[in-house]
Structure 1
Amino acid sequence: MFKRILLPTDGSQGASEALNCATAIARKFDSELEVVFVTEPHLMLTAPYSESILMDALQATREEGENVLAQATETARQSGIDQVKSAMLEGHPAEEIVRYAREHQMDIIIMGTHGRRGINRMLLGSIAEEVVRTASMPVMTVRVSGG
């Protein structure tokens, strides 16, 4: 049923719980799991700071993404998932997640709902909500326990 599962992650508690759910489903259906992390360089490049500070911040974000992807991939493998891939994407998160899912023919997207918190969520909106509205395949959202 779900042979190809896409898991967007940002390293948050919600993403961690979505990973647990995705690995359980992947084991049940012997699915391939693809984990993605999306950076938003356009947000940094419009900030009023020197180019060197912005480039350092962008590099730090990419390194964080690589670490988050490595950790999620390792967790999935330790959970018994043999077919795990990862990718770093750049752009608007919801758009990139939906584009990747479409281009890679994902059967389902499984994602957490509380990556952004507080005022950021109010100002920027929910990535999960936008993915649910725009994806052509099923989207399962996983809520943070107690949240």
Structure 2
Amino acid sequence: MSQHILVPVDGSPQSEAAFDYVLDNHPDAQVTILHVLNPASTYTYGDDEYFDYEGYQAEAKRQHERAEQLLEEYGETASEHSINFETRLETGKPAAKIIETVEDEDIDHIVMGSRGRSGVGRVLFGSVAETVTRRAPVPVTIVR
């Protein structure tokens, strides 16, 4: 029975490295490639006194289109390597959606990149990889 691996991707060099790791080390695995749109990231459009709804909608649409393009690119690469894969696009808090996907899809292993924040950045923004590592019911491999 082959392993089912979840690879959360965001287009960063670290998520590229995680995806490459899976291609190189798990060629027989079933791979789910996940991108999570975080709607909170578009709330920064405008300032506190004025919320530009049309601007927010345009930015959300742009992010969704970019996410679809990103997943298509990862899917093409997986196909070129004859990897058995599926892609998923979710909306929500990234760490929570990753854990939810593990539970919904019967995932055996998570392989993900880490941006390696430290100090103030890590305290202020947290780490999706750290949260997933603490909460995941399956092994997690972090690639830098």
State the TM-score bracket (shorter-chain normalisation): 0.7 to 0.9
Alignment of structure 1 residues 70-109 onto 2, 5 Å: 70-81=72-83, 83-109=84-110
Alignment of structure 1 residues 11-26 onto 2, 5 Å: 11-26=11-26
Is residue 132 of structure 2 the alignment partner of residue 110 of structure 1? no
Q: How far off its partner does 1:102 sit? A: 1.1
Note the residue ranges of structure 2 that are not aligned, 5 or more in a row: none
Name the counterpart of 1:63. Answer: 65
RMSD (CA atoms): 2.2
Name the counterpart of 1:3. Answer: 3
Given the superposition, is the C-alpha separation of residues 16 and 67 from structure 1 closer, same or farther in structure 2, using an over 3 Å criterion? Answer: same
Q: How far off its partner does 1:26 sit? A: 2.6
Is residue 42 of structure 2 the alignment partner of residue 44 of structure 1? yes
Identity score, percent: 31
Structure of higher CA gyration radius: 2
Find the residue that maps to 2:26 and give its secondary structure.
helix
Name the counterpart of 1:53. Answer: 55
Q: How far off its partner does 1:75 sit? A: 1.1
Note the residue ranges of structure 1 that are not aligned, 5 or more in a row: none
**d(CA) in 1 for partners of 2:129, 2:137:** 14
Instruction: Compute the TM-score of the two structures, normalised by the length of structure 2.
Output: 0.87
**d(CA) in 2 for partners of 1:84, 1:122:** 35
Find the residue that maps to 2:75 and give its secondary structure.
helix
Q: 1:72 is matched by which residue type in structure 2?
A: Y
